[in-house]
Structure 1
């Protein structure tokens, strides 16, 4: 049995260069060994922290490399399904950036390719690998806030000046909801285990064909949900779970260590607050290590494609409600 996973990356994306490439190389039981890019200049920053990096001049060449076990795909959103299927058909395990697809039904072909290949395929949904979210889920399941009544989520940043950013381009699957709405919606599903029954309201602002601000309310079986997601507001992020026995608040829930220190706070009915802190934890590394363990040991992966498809279903419901 192999003792480590040999990783390749399709494309020299900035996020891969600054975050995921480093996490792949730092994660236990894995190593970044190859990159596919037509520019040797773009490969240089990767080689700086992954000495001996092999550079392939095309994505197909990397997929044909027998010394690659798994590929990370940080390509523009509209290319995720195509290259995930190609990688699986080439016999590689796949970790693909979110969102994997633009519609929930598009997950089905990737799931079928995963099953027929016997390889692991997953969306890079790093937050569920962070102990902050594991603690929140445990506290919720233990009844720390009693019966849940309300959940509110806010996640924003401002990239209006970065006009060339793929998130500002409708042709590449841009928009705030595909980019960060997956966190505002999926994490609530992760903690509560519930799926939305109805989208109650949508208010979405668009620029150049992409959503840049949205306020969404929804009904889940046990609670009312409200969220604001934007890439035209000052940076902010917070998640609040409100029950009849307490309030649970997550700080830095989505960019732990960048936006601020991750923590979970529970305020009980006497207004006493208990806080759990999670400093200096890299959820990208945790994600890679969970992936490696699943590949090498066969343990269940914490965030399967079926879960990610559920988040896309909620996004599809939001789009449909907004068109109605």
Structure 2
């Protein structure tokens, strides 16, 4: 299979490429192609710019994982623009190129559960009705909604899967990398009220579901990339401390997070109880459905 991966040097991309079949012909789009070659060696072709539109005829699939990290910096106007442009512009270019193909590749494109906005305690899945009027000032929703709309431009032309990703748990990457130092010192604890839900997924399940969607010719539309059993922030914090055999005594007040992170603190203080209904209905089996098993697997090394 001939596959173009954008964002291949990101932490999901790295794990995905490691599990693609050895006979795959993989092209990675990266702002630093030399870094991609260091990571993957001769296994990939690394490009700094997208191929010409005509070259997309030669791909069987395009997997679009690129995007400026949304939770790494305060949301200044400049950072918001970078977050949007890194997703919207590239997705628009990919969709435009795919639209010109006589035999278009499958298009798997990223999104995030931030699409749903703050749903508090309400369980939601891909079919849930979301009041769009309540999300007009929600930056994460705006990013995701436009991102998905641009990818779906070619849904009448080829098979398109939109993957709304939750909090991906992986050792040495992402949320766990940021949380572990404090928790290992016994200083971890819930944020704000701790009642906000955290819809998480183990990196192995994240990669496996991307492969599942890639190889399932019946798969198309929206899929929630989250484990079947989301937990509250307090439950997550308590389980992480217990897995590390550390106390669970501290908490971070909401006002401290707002002072430190500004508007971006909303990602930490609000949440969604997201269910992966469409993946389960399609027959996907999660290796790590429960947080206890996931954290023990990730942290035992």
**TM-score under structure 2 length normalisation:** 0.42
More strand by share: 1
More helix by share: 2
